[in-house]
Amino acid sequence: MATVGDGPRAGKAKDFDIVATYYRLLAEDPDLTMPVAAIEALIELLVQSRAVTIYETLDLVKTQSDYLKSRVPNSISLSAGTDLFQRYIISSLKPTSTGSFEAVRQHLLSNGRLFVSRAKAGRERIAAYGRHFVRDGSVVLTHGGSRVVGALLAKAAEASASGGNVRFKVIYVMNDARSSESKTVVSALRAKGVPVATISEGAVGYAMGKVNLVIVGAEGVVENGGVISRLGTYQIALLAKAAGKPFYVAAESHKFVRLYPLGQYDLGIDQEVIDFRTEDEKDPAQEEGKSTGTVPKPEEKSEGSPSSPAQPKQAVDAVDFTPPALVSALLTETGALTPSAVSEELISVWY
């Protein structure tokens, strides 16, 4: 039987690397979300699959989904897509289905592609609906590179440029670890005529007094209505709550994930954001650089300066958990949802 890269056996499928396919899809389409990329990768797997029974198909999809999640450091977002697609297959590939298995499989593939197209269209629906939350004269605070938030603000800017009466400003929280992404978001908004002020993460509390609402994106929306998003979202939500400012989360429904964390450390991923060391302990990254000969030259230090200044640990892909009590509403393609409504949405999909 053929194998999939270094991964599990793929049954009667051709040679197929689902991890490479997943990353290729993300690279080819910068606007693609991780759950949708995972679903498209699974569809490509089924296209090349030689499975001839329902059991083989289900086993193949489950095995490859688990393998993909094991090879991606932060698999929370993509797991929403893989789990949803597996549920879709179970409901589609029933033993009572009429016709040959090949006809059923082709029906599954065509409907799977339709599902992907609808998931992509969800972003524009959220933007069209969510722009009404941006009122005339308001100041919106946001951070990160959420595509749906960018589409929402762009839609609000287009309404203003086309003769509408909505004029708003944006305060954008810069991320030093993702400076290029931050600059891209700011430039895109300014190009549409939106006045944007940039602040550091340490200035969020200071700026909150001028903010009317906060809008952020999400990598995943969990069962209790809480949100898993870019590191720093939680502290922004805390400050917004303390200042009495509404905190909105814009997220597509395919990011709803079956996970019930009770706190920051129940996400099931090892992020290594907090790393305790003494002066005698070396940074593993620096030690690895020494072994490969890629350690940068130390900067010249003046007399009396510390020999090894402490540097903050930058977790580029780290996320945090924002509890539902801090979320005012979730802006989805079906409208605004309260955090408590998320569990009902998941029940309607899974049961």
48, 179: one domain: no
pTM metric for this prediction: 0.80
Last residue of a domain, one of 122, 156, 180: 122
228: pLDDT strictly greater than 90:
yes
To the nearest whole percent, how much of the chain has pLDDT over 90?
32
Let me know whether 70 and 105 are in one domain: yes
- The reply to whether 91 falls in a domain is yes
> Residue 142 — φ and ψ, nearest 5°?
-150, 170
For residue 273, tell me if it sits in a domain: no
Q: Are residues 151 and 94 in the same domain?
A: no
Compute φ and ψ for 206, nearest 5 degrees.
-65, -40
Asked if 103 and 140 sit in the same domain, the reply is no
Do both 144 and 243 map to the same domain? yes
Average pLDDT, the chain: 81
Read off the CATH number of the domain in which 217 is found: 3.40.50.10470
Give yes or no: residues 81 and 218 share one domain: no
Give a yes or no: residue 170 inside a domain.
yes
DSSP string, 35-62: HHHHHHHHHHHHHHB---SHHHHHHHHH
The sheet with strand 220-221 has its strands ordered as: 220-221, 227-230, 319-322
Residue 221, in any domain of the structure: yes
Highest mean pLDDT among 76-90, 117-131, 326-340: 326-340
What are the pLDDT digits (tens) for 13-61?
A: 557 899 999 999 989 988 888 888 898 899 889 888 887 777 888 889 8
Residue 1: which pLDDT band, with cuts at 50, 70 and 90? very low
Given this model, what pLDDT does residue 85 score? 84
Residues 113 and 142 in one domain: no
CA distance to 91, 238, 240, 312, 346, per residue, from 176 (Å): 45, 21, 22, 11, 36
The answer to whether residue 237 is domain-embedded is yes
**pLDDT(131) > 70:** yes
**What's the pLDDT score for residue 350?**
65
Cβ atoms 242, 211 nearer than 8 A: no
Whether residue 106 lies inside any domain: the answer is: yes
Same domain, 92 and 25: yes
Examine the domain organization and report whether 241 and 186 are in the same domain: yes
CA distance 79 to 75: 6
Q: Enter the tokens of residue 163.
A: 């003769």
Q: 197-215: per-residue pLDDT in tens?
A: 999 999 999 999 999 999 9
Query: What whole-number distance in Å separates Cα of residue 322 and Cα of residue 339?
Result: 11
- Number of structural domains (the chain) is 2
Q: What is the pLDDT of residue 195?
A: 93
Question: Which of 122, 151, 178 represents a domain boundary (last residue)?
Answer: 122
> What's the number of CA atoms in the CB half-sphere (13 Å) around residue 72?
25
Query: Does residue 260 or residue 313 have the better pLDDT?
Result: 260
* Mean pLDDT of all residues in 250-266: 88
Pair 153, 110 in one domain = no
Exposure letters 131-168 (e unless 16+ CB within 10 A, then b):
bebbeeebbbbbbbbbbbbbbbbbbbbebbeeeeebbb
pLDDT of residue 81: 87
Same domain, 323 and 213: yes
Q: What is the pLDDT of residue 175?
A: 85
Confidence of residue 274 (pLDDT cuts 50, 70, 90): confident
Average pLDDT over residues 121-148: 90
- Examine the fold and report which residue of 63, 89, 122 is the final residue of a domain before the chain moves on: 122
Higher pLDDT, 23 or 109: 23
pLDDT at 212: 96
Structure tokens at 346: 């998941």
Q: Would 48 be classed as within a structural domain?
A: yes
**Which CATH number goes with the domain that contains 33?**
1.20.120
- Rounded mean pLDDT, 74-92: 83
CB 227 within 8 A of CB 250: no
- Residue range of the domain that includes 54: 18-122
What is the band of 283 on the pLDDT scale with cuts at 50, 70, 90? Answer: low
Name the residue with higher pLDDT: 337 or 30.
337
Overall size of the chain counted in residues: 351
Q: Within this chain, do residues 326 and 249 fall inside the same structural domain, yes or no? A: yes
Question: By the 8 A CB rule, do 251 and 218 touch?
Answer: yes
CA atoms lying within 13 Å on the CB side of residue 315: 14
- Rounded distance, CA 144 to CA 207, Å? 17
Token match 């964390």: residue?
261
For residue 243, being part of any structural domain is answered with yes
Confidence of residue 307 (pLDDT cuts 50, 70, 90): very low
